[in-house]
Amino acid sequence: MNDVWDSITSTQPAPSLRVLIGTGVVALLLIAWRPIWRYTRQVVTIAHEGAHGLVAALAGRKLAGIRLHSDTSGVTVSRGKPTGAGMIAVLLAGYPGPALFGLAAAFVLGQGYAVALLWGLLLALVVLLLQIRNLFGLWSVVVFGAVVFAVSWWGSADVQSAFAYLLTWFLLLAAPRAVIELQHSRRGGGGRSSDADQLRRLTGVPALVWVAFFGLITLVCLGLGVLWSGVLPSQ
């Protein structure tokens, strides 16, 4: 345990440019290849619903539970005033959530704390697990957490660093695709209960504007994440 704590509180050397680019390419394949995206998208859903839950708690709403479904959809239920700034903030958090988590991870990695990032993620998953209210959601979080724990506990420093970058790239790159899928769903007649459409009903601002806002946030996070990752020079 002393060795684990030392690795958490110590910085790790930055990986090579080859590793940075390689993990980015792998993350892109996990997103672009449709047969596997059906499964890896669940990580985006976990981050999406986790963002809803985090903002609900920060806004003073009572979190009643989170459900994750096999079709990669999810729902976060919180109790409180159904209108107003708190509810709007909760709805705003979902689609930008994975990108913002990815950007925060890129910042932590830029400081050299790859191992601390993995253990912090594991702690967040444990907290999230306490809010899961269905069997599939429980299974999804446990499997993802088991992978993160295995890498954190048994992986070498190089493996831990590469895995941390892979997760970061995945969140940054997957977030814009989730927004595109949202708009495709809306154009096909679905998504009437989507975050964007609920925001339209609460604010009067067209849902398409909210979709564009989600997309802008995810692209800004991606750009900053690339800069902070070290792939491009910061100056």
Q: What is the pLDDT of residues 65-105, one digit of tens each?
A: 999 999 999 999 999 888 899 999 999 999 999 999 999 99
Number of C-beta neighbours around residue 5 at 10 A? 10
Q: Work out how many domains the chain is built from and give that number.
A: 1
Q: Which amino acid would we find at residue 104?
A: A
Looking at the domain assignment, is residue 66 inside a domain? Answer: yes
Is residue 234 scored above 60 in pLDDT? no
Range of the domain at 61: 2-229
pTM of structure: 0.93
- Residue 40 in domain: yes
Flag whether 235 is in a domain.
Answer: no
- Position 121 pLDDT exceeds 60: yes
Residue in the block written with tokens 């704390």 = 113
pLDDT score at 117: 95
Q: What is the pLDDT of residue 235?
A: 46
| Residue 75 dihedral angles phi and psi, to the nearest 5° | -150, 135
The answer to whether position 153 is within a domain reads yes
Whether the predicted pLDDT of 174 surpasses 70: yes
Structural domain contains residue 52: yes
Q: Is residue 221 part of a domain?
A: yes
For the record, the structure tokens of 196 come out as 């964007």
* DSSP per-residue codes, 40-82: HHHHHHHHHHHHHHHHHHHTT-EEEEEEE-TTS-EEEEEES-S
Q: Is residue 62 domain-resident?
A: yes
For residues 181-186, average pLDDT: 91
Sorted by sequence, the CB contacts under 8 Å of residue 224 that are 6+ apart come out as: 103, 106
- Chain-wide mean pLDDT for the chain? 92
Q: Is residue 234 part of a domain?
A: no
